[in-house]
Amino acid sequence: MATYTISHTLQTSTSYPAAEFSSTFAPLTSVYFKLNDTIQATVSHPISGNTLGISLNDVNEANPDPSNLGGTTTHADDYTYSLAWSGTFAEGGSASSDYFTQWFHFNRTGTFQYSAKSVFRRVSANIGLNTNNVASSGGTITVTASNVLGLLDPVGNNAHRLYLYVRNSSGTLITSNVSFSTAGNNAYLGKITTTGLTSTLTVGSSLPADTYKVHIGHYGGGGSGNVFYGTDHSITTATFIKAAPPTGDTTPDSFSIGSDQTVATSGQYDATQFTVSGINAAATVSVSGSGSPSVSIAGGDYLATNIPDITNGQTVNFRMFAPGTPGTNHSATLNIGGVTDSITLTAASSGGSQGGASGTSNYGMQVLGPASGGTQPVIFSPNFKITNLVAFGIESNIQNGSPRTVPSSGVFEGLSSSNDKVKVLFLLDNEPLAAYALTMTKNTGSGEGTVTFTNVGAGNISLKYYILRTE
């Protein structure tokens, strides 16, 4: 329990003016206190050497009165009168039913022209909440006080109030993400009066999940701690729980990017578009493996790195390329929220030609051209045929200043700087007039068997390319 002390000096008066701790918040009142608190008055005489008197003869229904100080008693200057407010007192009344007492002080010498009184008011109250649970997104709580006893009626904007405030499970005062509709200068400090018993508490979404207590307390003049929300001044509490945010589910339902298959050398493979399902929070997306795998989320650009997170209901497009060497493989994996699917592409031994019989790489002979860059290009092999489509592909978003070399790995069979029987044809997507903005180079040396497209204009260019054997 708390101890509340009013210290004051007798006034030049015979009318017993009240000693006030605060004329703003508790006029005509020395101290507000609770049952079982200790109340004290330290009294001084304005003239040194004079003695003090106290009258406790039930003046103005001042019950209960300290039984050990009954009658008129004399004390030295700067004497402290003290009472633990509990039990039944000699002059009538009990702690459970009496909410007021005043002690009259005066000088014991001279003409009795110096006087004052200590006024103590005991308060009690209950509070209730219309709900004890608040969602993780926040909400409102109606706080209602009842059985408010001992509190004087309100005066102005500040006098004779009880105060509402919130503390967390560790006892820390909460000053943000909470606000009371009856607050004054500080949103976290609500007010209750005898004529205003309700206040709406708004709990913000950013308030951490925890168990909280709404306190109702009295003005704590003469006590310890902050006069409005000191722990000594709390009368009673009510509890509410702020829920934690739901745990996000980032594990999607299973998906497929297709079955293993054989495609043309350096051919582009596009998986059937699918829609992500089974998640309620954003999930990470990544690709790995060979064949330059990339992915487009919700119709965005194809990316191999720095892929944005995906949310439920968004579409996915997966793309990769076959090797440039017949009979070899590229394998790639798509990972969404820890769920994966993989595919392997085998470059066709026919070189990806369309129609007509083809040879087999397991039999026959190869004709090699002159060595260039340490390698000899294949001029003719069992996979060659007249007017043969060696490879086909699509290159998207070739940026100015960023040359694009294809295939990304391996070579185009038969393509070399010295063999003009294998040619490169390219078409610009929806940009027939922009041909001048793109250059094509058959690479030599270590790049023999590859082609580099260079965008020399503004903006991005997309194209389709065909590698054709003409004879």
- Domain ranges across the chain: 3-122, 125-242, 261-347, 367-469
Percent share of the chain, pLDDT over 90: 49
Res. 191 pLDDT band, cuts 50 70 90: very high
- Determine the residue type at 3: T
Q: Which one is predicted more confidently, 459 or 87?
A: 459
Tally of CB atoms within 10 A around 370: 10
* Architecture category of domain 125-242 in CATH: Sandwich (2.60)
In the predicted structure, residue 247 carries a pLDDT above the cut 90: no
pLDDT at 399: 84
Mean local confidence (pLDDT), 304-331 = 93
Q: From CA 43, how far away is CA 32, in angstroms rounded?
A: 18
Query: By the 8 A CB rule, do 357 and 232 touch?
Result: no
Residue 212 pLDDT: 98
Query: Among residues 183, 185, 43, 172, which one has the least CA distance to residue 115?
Result: 43
SS3 (DSSP) at 162: strand
146-165 mean pLDDT: 96
Distance, CA of 144 to chain centre: 31
Is the distance from CB of 294 to CB of 306 less than 8 angstroms? Answer: no
In terms of C-beta density within 10 A (0-12 exposed, 13-18 middle, 19 or more buried), how is residue 464 classed? middle
Would the pLDDT of 125 be above 90? yes
Q: Is pLDDT above 90 for 32?
A: yes
- What are the residues whose beta carbons fall under 8 Å from the beta carbon of 129, sequence distance 6 or more? 141, 142, 143, 144, 214, 238, 239, 240
pLDDT value, residue 464: 84
Strand order from edge to edge, sheet including 198-203 = 124-129, 139-149, 198-203, 178-180
- 């909280």: which residue's tokens? 212
CA distance 320 to 419: 28
Considering just the CA atoms, what is the radius of gyration of the chain in Å? 45
Express each pLDDT in 9-20 by its tens digit.
Answer: 999 887 889 999
pLDDT band at 160 (very low <50, low <70, confident <90, very high): very high
Q: How far, in Å, CA of 90 to CA of 139, rounded?
A: 51
Question: Greater confidence, 433 or 305?
Answer: 305
Tokens 């210290």 correspond to: 7
Give bridge partners of residue 236 from the DSSP assignment. 216
- Average pLDDT value for the chain: 84
Phi/psi at 265 (5° precision): -55, 135
**What pLDDT sits at residue 89?**
45
Fold match between 125-242 and 261-347? yes
Q: For residue range 171-188, list pLDDT tens digits in order.
A: 999 999 999 999 999 999
- Specify the pLDDT at position 291: 93
What's the pLDDT tens digit per position in 324-360? Answer: 888 899 999 999 999 999 999 998 875 433 333 344 4
Residues 254-290: pLDDT tens digits? 999 999 998 888 888 999 999 999 998 899 999 999 9
Give which of 152, 162, 141 is closest to 100, Cα–Cα: 152
Q: List the Cα angle 118/120/124 in 5-degree steps.
A: 175
Look at phi and psi of residue 434 and say left if phi exceeds 0, alpha if psi is from -120 to 50, else beta.
alpha
> Residue 54 in contact with residue 62, Cβ under 8 Å?
no
The predicted pLDDT at position 87 comes to 52
Q: Is the pTM of this model over 0.85?
A: no
372-387 residue pLDDT tens: 555 666 656 665 554 5
Phi-psi region of 278 (alpha: psi -120 to 50; beta: other; left: phi over 0): left
Report pLDDT for 55. 62
pLDDT of residue 207: 95
**How many degrees, rounded to 5, is the angle at CA 425 between CA 420 and CA 431?**
150
List, for residues 438-452, the tens digit of each pLDDT value. 888 888 888 888 999
* pLDDT confidence band for 469 (50 / 70 / 90): confident
Q: Domain 261-347 class?
A: mainly beta
pLDDT band at 394 (very low <50, low <70, confident <90, very high): confident
Structure tokens at 149: 């006893």
User: How far from 13 is each of 53, 106, 320, 400, CA to CA, in Å?
Assistant: 14, 9, 100, 96
Specify the range with the lowest mean pLDDT, choosing from 85-99, 217-231, 237-251, 336-350.
85-99
Q: What are phi and psi of 241, to 5 degrees?
A: -115, 130
Q: Is the pLDDT at 230 greater than 60, yes or no?
A: yes
The rounded distance, in Å, linking the Cα atoms of 333 and 291 is 10
Q: How far apart are CA 428 and CA 266, in angstroms?
A: 19
pLDDT of 65 strictly over 60: no
Could you give the CA distance from residue 186 to residue 83 in angstroms, rounded to a whole number? 34
What is residue 98's predicted lDDT score, i.e. its pLDDT?
72
**Which residue type is seen at 463?**
L
**What is the predicted pLDDT for the residue at 417?**
77
Question: Given the structure tokens 């031994």, which residue do they identify?
Answer: 349
Tell me which of 79 and 204 has the higher pLDDT: 204
Residue 66: band (very low, low, confident or very high) from pLDDT cuts 50, 70, 90? very low
Q: How is residue 79 written in tokens? A: 């004497």
Q: Which residue, among 37, 88, 81, 91, has the nearest Cα to 60 in the 3D structure?
A: 91
Q: Is the pLDDT of residue 395 over 70?
A: yes
